[in-house]
A and B are shown apart, each in its own frame.
Chain A
Amino acid sequence: MSLTAKRASRYIIALVIIFTLNFVIPRAMPGDPLTNLLGEDVILTDSSVIELRSEMGLDRPLFEQYLDYWHGILHLDLGYSFHRHSPVAEIIFARMKWTLLLAVPSLLTGGILGTILGALAGWRSANSCQKASTAFFLAIYCTPPYFLCLLALYLFSFKLDIFPLKGFYDTGSAADIALHLFLPVLVMTLFSLSRNYMIMRGSVLQEKSSLYAAFARAKGLYDAEILFRHVFKNALLPIITLLAMDFGFILSGALFVEIVFSMNGMGNLIYDALLSRDYPVLQGSFLIITLMVVSANLLADILYSRLDPRVRWH
């Protein structure tokens, strides 16, 4: 009970601080949200600048804006984007569904395949097949994400002409969407997979040498039985926390995939908002991502305590 309370209070404090940072950072940036609002060669008169500023609430004291910001958060109102001419929440939710469509399958397949393959690789590390797969995933692990995206796009979409070059869909049918998403999802899956693979491999290598694994062998369990009955779950424990942290990274990190594949998801949204100093969108999306990361962490905590009785007990 007290542990849960402690964790919860920690998360709440963290949230408050992050939300505050979220308010401060965009405002500390140079450049004005008014710039880039209207186009490169548009001339503004001073009076319309003042008008716009007051409309956007930028002329009010910072503290008032800060209070407003909290008021908005508590009322689930993320503000209004003058760059995108819509309420931020609406924009984010429209984008989020696509990013989730991109990220969730990648994370799941990457997570599941990564842990299983990684566990096998760690368990039978001497095997040449495992060595080859380790080398492969290590290479992916070491490649800058955008680079892999572009290479994949060049090879599969351009040279081989299997997949479309951009966007989420052409016609909007499920098949069409699946076709468009295939390559981005594949690339992201590979990334997620390679990381989980590496971590799981290390984790299993470590657990492999534990005494309980030796005892399982002494009890007469054979190879895979030891791995999947005993080692796997233990080795999985650290991964759960990582998956949770990954979640935030994936949401914002889909950025490269989205830029390369011209997908209007959260990543692209943040990048654009950043370049155009669209505070409300920046704040809103950071906020949502933070919330998701925090809830993913919370979820991981819960899952962890379900898997690890030691946590429950203390």
Chain B
Amino acid sequence: MNSRRPDDAPILQIEDLSVSFSTATGQVKAAENVCFKLYKGETLALVGETGCGKSVVASSIMQLLPNNAHIQGRAIYAGRDLLSLSEKEMSRIRGSEIAIVFQNPSLALNPIMRVSEQIAEMLQVRKGYPAAQSLELAGEMLHRLGLQGDDKMRMYPFQFSGGMNQRVMIAASMILSPRIIIADEPSKGLDGALAAEVMAEMARIKNQVGASLLLITHDLNLARNISDRMAVMYCGEIMEIGESEEIFSLPRHPYTAALLRCLPERGFQPIPGPSPSMIKPPAGCKFHPRCPNISEVCRRKPKMTRVEGRGTAPAGSESEIREVKCWRY
């Protein structure tokens, strides 16, 4: 685990990001007023249940959303708003500045291209390296991720297991030493142990290249193990953000608390009530229909509020140390 340096200016700053899609049944609000900062070298986990909009956030940063998505807000990277870049400009940022690791690695790799070529391709296209050299570098990268040997270089994705493909994806994302890596549910489809192993390697390399990691996952334990900070999303909104350990030990938002109670080690206590609709979310605090300590005020929209935590960061530093979107604070 990497200790963050909160004094640094954020490398990526998401401001008021809202994404919605229009469908036949209505406007789906996939993300609403999402704000967070990603600092250099840190790992920020964006956690939440299926359908809470965490992947949409990642895709909109990369401008990988379909062009019919309505995106508002800003994603400031190196002084530029990524959301306003043209496709051509964006393609220069993708991969070399900001890389993304998809879920479903076995589908995300080109099935009829050798894995080594898929990694080396980046060097050839973006850096203009000759084929031999780039293949060599790709091999090195694979080696670092525990896939050594010439035979591995000549393999195709279908010959690899999901875990191995995930490593290939990670290698392809990291080959150009990007400054930010976004990992979108990288553990999905992998066994618990394997997921941990892959993530550990990912974290290691991330540290080696000095990149920041935005980890998007529904796996709370994974997030806890890897991330420095954690943002909990519910129904398109960030409910709580703070240091991972702290959130685990002292969840402030009722949703975070309820979610944690569902964990096996905490006794599988289910959250009452059904998940909210993304098209017509509850007014006010979106969690209020399921919240155990609901009050009248919850029908209005709460604001993100800074609360004092027991965090390691010096008080008053610029980072959001612990913010909760709940009227109780």
Place the interface of chain A in its size category.
Answer: 20 to 34
The answer on a CB contact under 8 Å between A220 and B96 is: yes
The answer on a CB contact under 8 Å between A220 and B88 is: no
Which residues in chain A, 192-251, are within 8 Å of chain B measured between CB atoms?
Answer: 210-212, 214-223, 225, 229-230, 233-234, 237
Q: Roughly how many angstroms separate A217 CA and B102 CA in the complex, as a whole number?
A: 12
Given A309-B156, A310-B158, residue A211 in contact with residue B104 (CB < 8 A): yes
Tell me, rounded to whole Å, the shortest Cβ–Cβ distance linking B91 to chain A: 4
Tell me, rounded to whole Å, the shortest Cβ–Cβ distance linking A207 to chain B: 10
The answer on a CB contact under 8 Å between B62 and A218 is: yes
Q: Roughly how many angstroms separate A215 CA and B173 CA in the complex, as a whole number?
A: 10
The answer on a CB contact under 8 Å between B112 and A220 is: no
Question: A212, A221, A223 — which one has the most chain B CB atoms within 10 A of its CB?
Answer: A212
Contact mask B64-93 → A, CB, 8 Å, 1/0? Answer: 100000000000000000000001100111
The answer on a CB contact under 8 Å between A212 and B111 is: yes
Is A63 in contact with chain B by the CB < 8 A criterion?
Answer: no
The answer on a CB contact under 8 Å between B110 and A219 is: no
The answer on a CB contact under 8 Å between B64 and A217 is: yes
Residues of A with C-beta under 8 A to B125 = 220-221, 225, 229
Tell me, rounded to whole Å, the shortest Cβ–Cβ distance linking B103 to chain A: 9
The answer on a CB contact under 8 Å between A309 and B108 is: no
Is A292 in contact with chain B by the CB < 8 A criterion?
Answer: no
Is B188 in contact with chain A by the CB < 8 A criterion?
Answer: no
Question: A218, A222, A225, A307 — which one has the most chain B CB atoms within 10 A of its CB?
Answer: A218
| A313 (CB) vs chain B CBs: closest residue | B159
Tell me, rounded to whole Å, the shortest Cβ–Cβ distance linking B189 to chain A: 13
The answer on a CB contact under 8 Å between A218 and B156 is: no
Is A59 in contact with chain B by the CB < 8 A criterion?
Answer: no
The answer on a CB contact under 8 Å between A222 and B109 is: no
Q: Roughly how many angstroms separate A89 CA and B62 CA in the complex, as a whole number?
A: 64
| B176 (CB) vs chain A CBs: closest residue | A220
Q: Please, how many residues of chain B have a CB less than 8 angstroms from a CB on the other chain?
A: 32
| B169 (CB) vs chain A CBs: closest residue | A215
The total number of A-B Cβ pairs within 8 Å is 78
Is B323 in contact with chain A by the CB < 8 A criterion?
Answer: no
Residues of B with C-beta under 8 A to A216 = 110
Is B32 in contact with chain A by the CB < 8 A criterion?
Answer: no
Residues of B with C-beta under 8 A to A222 = 87-88, 91
Is B152 in contact with chain A by the CB < 8 A criterion?
Answer: no
| A237 (CB) vs chain B CBs: closest residue | B112
The answer on a CB contact under 8 Å between A308 and B112 is: yes
- The answer, among A212, A217, A313, for a CB contact under 8 Å with B110, is A212
Tell me, rounded to whole Å, the shortest Cβ–Cβ distance linking A206 to chain B: 14
- The answer, among B91, B102, B159, for a CB contact under 8 Å with A220, is B91
Residues of A with C-beta under 8 A to B48 = none
Is B99 in contact with chain A by the CB < 8 A criterion?
Answer: yes
Q: Roughly how many angstroms separate A214 CA and B88 CA in the complex, as a whole number?
A: 15
Residues of B with C-beta under 8 A to A234 = 110-112
The answer on a CB contact under 8 Å between A313 and B95 is: no
Q: Roughly how many angstroms separate A181 CA and B108 CA in the complex, as a whole number?
A: 47
The answer on a CB contact under 8 Å between A310 and B104 is: no
Question: A210, A230, A308 — which one has the most chain B CB atoms within 10 A of its CB?
Answer: A230
Is B113 in contact with chain A by the CB < 8 A criterion?
Answer: yes
The answer on a CB contact under 8 Å between B95 and A218 is: yes
The answer on a CB contact under 8 Å between A214 and B122 is: no
Which residues in chain A, 283-314, are within 8 Å of chain B measured between CB atoms?
Answer: 307-310, 313
Residues of A with C-beta under 8 A to B315 = none
Q: Roughly how many angstroms separate A234 CA and B158 CA in the complex, as a whole number?
A: 14
Q: Roughly how many angstroms separate A216 CA and B96 CA in the complex, as a whole number?
A: 13
Is B107 in contact with chain A by the CB < 8 A criterion?
Answer: yes
Is B126 in contact with chain A by the CB < 8 A criterion?
Answer: yes
Interface residues of B (CB under 8 A from A): 62, 64, 87-88, 91-96, 99-100, 102, 104, 107-113, 121-122, 125-126, 156, 158-159, 169, 172-173, 176
Interface residues of A (CB under 8 A from B): 210-212, 214-223, 225, 229-230, 233-234, 237, 307-310, 313
Please name 7 pairs of A and B residues whose Cβ atoms are closer than 8 Å in the assembled complex, sorted by A: A212-B109, A215-B169, A217-B91, A218-B62, A219-B94, A219-B122, A310-B112
Add 20 more A-B contacts to A211-B107, A217-B91, A221-B125 (CB < 8 A).
A212-B109, A212-B111, A214-B64, A215-B169, A217-B64, A218-B94, A218-B95, A218-B100, A219-B172, A220-B95, A220-B96, A220-B125, A221-B91, A221-B95, A229-B121, A230-B113, A308-B111, A308-B112, A309-B158, A310-B111
